[in-house]
Structure 1
């Protein structure tokens, strides 16, 4: 982004504090390409935005999100 003021404003909205790099897309791409890891995932979008979307939803709309940890080795909830 060429405009430093706009870049700073955008980065202030991202919980990770920076605009993503092309390398940041490698993890989601490998996950979706790996049959073993993503075989139960379908018809979904993977947001790789440094947390900006979830931060704006929780701030602007009062949403509360609960994240449930899953033990991938035993395929059960912790």
Structure 2
């Protein structure tokens, strides 16, 4: 279960129902898409001690990027059932 990020200490949170605030959106990961990667951290100056950074949580704004559910581009990747 650790391969998918399951942590027994967080099990209490897994039973809560969630509702999407916005329609699903597919965003191709390409140049110009906000992202945080190990390669990007490796480019930081040594003074940032990036080797000590782990378990990062962050949010990105994808407004205006990708394809929203219901568009032909979205349906080409995720067909409606």
Structure with a larger share of its residues in helix = 1
Q: Say yes or no: TM over 0.5.
A: no
TM-score of the pair, normalised by structure 1: 0.21
Structure number, greater radius of gyration: 2
